[in-house]
Amino acid sequence: MMTSRTDRSIPRDVGATALVAEPDPAVRKKICEGLEELGYLITTPATAKEALKAMRFHIFDVIILNELFDTKDSRTNAVLSYLENMAMSTRRRFFVALVRRIYQTMDRMPHSTGASIWSSISRVLTASP
36: region left, alpha or beta (phi > 0 left; psi from -120 to 50 alpha): alpha
**What confidence tier does 9 reach under pLDDT thresholds 50, 70, 90?**
very low
| Distance (Å, whole) CA 9 – CA 50 | 16
DSSP assignment string, 26-68: HHHHHHHHHHHHTT-EEEE-SSHHHHHHHHHH---SEEEEETT
* 20 or 101, greater pLDDT: 20
Q: What is the pLDDT of residues 28-46, one digit of tens each?
A: 999 999 999 888 999 999 9
For the chain, give every domain's residue range: 3-126
| 105, pLDDT greater than 60 | no
Question: 3-126: what CATH class?
Answer: alpha beta
Q: What is the pTM of this model?
A: 0.72
The DSSP code for 74 is G
